[in-house]
Structure 1
Amino acid sequence: MSSYLELTARQRIPAIFDAGSFEEFLPPSARVVSPHLAQLDAPVSFDDGVVVGRGLLDGHVVFGAAQEGGFMGGAVGEVHGAKLVGMLRRAVDEQAHAVLLLLESGGVRLHEANAGLIAVSEVMRAMLDARAADIPVVALVGGANGCFGGMGISARCANTVIMSEEGRLAMSGPEVIETASGVEEFDSRDRALVWRTTGGKHRYLLGDCQVLVPDDTAAFRAAAVQAIADIRAGSASLTLEGLLDEQAMLARRLEDTAGLHDPVDVWRQLGVPDPGAVPMLEADAFMQLAAPYRAGGQR
Structure 2
Amino acid sequence: MTDQKTVTPFQRHTSSWYESSARDRVRLLLDAGSFREFIGPEAREMSPHLDLFDLPKQFDDGIVVGRGMLGGKPLFVAAQEGRFMGGAFGEVHGAKLTGLLRAARDTRPAIPVLILFDTGGVRLQEANAGELSISEIMRALVEARTAGAKVVGLIGGRSGCYGGGGLIAGTCSALAVSEHGRIAVSGPEVIETNRGIEEFDSKDKSLVWRTMGGRNRRLIGGADAFVDDTIEAFRAAALLLIERAPAFDLDMLKAEQARLTERLQRFGDCADAVDIWAREGIADARSVPGLSTEAFTAIADKAREPRYDAR
Counterparts of 1:263 and 1:287 in 2: how far apart (Å)? 17
Does the 8 Å CA contact 2:218/2:226 hold for their aligned counterparts?
A: yes
Instruction: Please state if 1:140 is matched with 2:136.
Output: no
Does the 8 Å CA contact 1:22/1:55 hold for their aligned counterparts?
A: yes
Counterpart for residue 103 of structure 1: 117
The structural deviation recorded for 1:91 is 2.0
Q: 1:204 aligns with which of 208, 213, 218?
A: 218
The structural deviation recorded for 1:92 is 2.5
Instruction: Please state if 1:112 is matched with 2:126.
Output: yes
Counterpart for residue 11 of structure 2: none
Does the 8 Å CA contact 2:105/2:145 hold for their aligned counterparts?
A: no
Counterpart for residue 75 of structure 1: 88
The structural deviation recorded for 1:124 is 0.6
Counterparts of 2:134 and 2:37 in 1: how far apart (Å)? 21
In the TM superposition, what whole-angstrom CA distance separates every residue of 1:108-127 from its partner, at most 9, and x where no partner exists?
A: 11111111111011111111
Query: Which residue identity lines up with residue 236 of structure 2 in the other structure?
Result: A
The structural deviation recorded for 1:41 is 2.2
Q: 1:18 aligns with which of 19, 31, 36?
A: 31
Query: Which residue identity lines up with residue 152 of structure 2 in the other structure?
Result: V
Does the 8 Å CA contact 1:213/1:284 hold for their aligned counterparts?
A: no
Counterparts of 1:67 and 1:60 in 2: how far apart (Å)? 22
Query: Which residue identity lines up with residue 181 of structure 1 in the other structure?
Result: R
The structural deviation recorded for 1:227 is 1.1
Report the TM-score, using the length of structure 1 for normalisation.
0.95
Does the 8 Å CA contact 2:163/2:185 hold for their aligned counterparts?
A: yes
The structural deviation recorded for 1:290 is 1.6
The structural deviation recorded for 1:259 is 2.5
In the TM superposition, what whole-angstrom CA distance separates every residue of 1:42-93 from its partner, at most 9, and x where no partner exists?
A: 2111111100000111111110000000111011011101000111111222
Counterpart for residue 294 of structure 1: 304
Counterpart for residue 281 of structure 2: 271
Aligned to 2:171, the other structure's residue is in SS state coil
Counterparts of 1:210 and 1:168 in 2: how far apart (Å)? 14
The structural deviation recorded for 1:281 is 1.0
Counterparts of 1:3 and 1:187 in 2: how far apart (Å)? 29
In the TM superposition, what whole-angstrom CA distance separates every residue of 1:168-212 from its partner, at most 9, and x where no partner exists?
A: 001111111111111221111111111100011100111110111
The structural deviation recorded for 1:94 is 2.5
Counterpart for residue 51 of structure 2: 38
Aligned to 1:186, the other structure's residue is in SS state coil
Query: Which residue identity lines up with residue 241 of structure 1 in the other structure?
Result: D
Does the 8 Å CA contact 2:256/2:307 hold for their aligned counterparts?
A: no
Counterpart for residue 6 of structure 2: none
Does the 8 Å CA contact 1:141/1:147 hold for their aligned counterparts?
A: yes
Query: Which residue identity lines up with residue 229 of structure 1 in the other structure?
Result: E
Greater displacement, 40-49 / 161-170? 40-49
In the TM superposition, what whole-angstrom CA distance separates every residue of 1:235-287 from its partner, at most 9, and x where no partner exists?
A: 2x2x2222222222122211211322111111001112211111111222211
Q: 2:21 aligns with which of 8, 12, 17?
A: 8
Matches within 5 A, 1:55-74: 55-74=68-87
Does the 8 Å CA contact 1:272/1:290 hold for their aligned counterparts?
A: no
Greater displacement, 253-262 / 21-30? 253-262
Does the 8 Å CA contact 1:65/1:101 hold for their aligned counterparts?
A: yes
Aligned-residue identity in percent: 51
Q: 2:265 aligns with which of 235, 241, 255?
A: 255
Where does structure 1 differ by over 6 angstroms across 4 or more consecutive aligned residues? none
Counterpart for residue 230 of structure 2: 216
Report the TM-score, using the length of structure 2 for normalisation.
0.92
Greater displacement, 77-86 / 36-45? 36-45
Counterpart for residue 245 of structure 1: 255
Does the 8 Å CA contact 1:160/1:298 hold for their aligned counterparts?
A: no
Query: Which residue identity lines up with residue 258 of structure 2 in the other structure?
Result: A
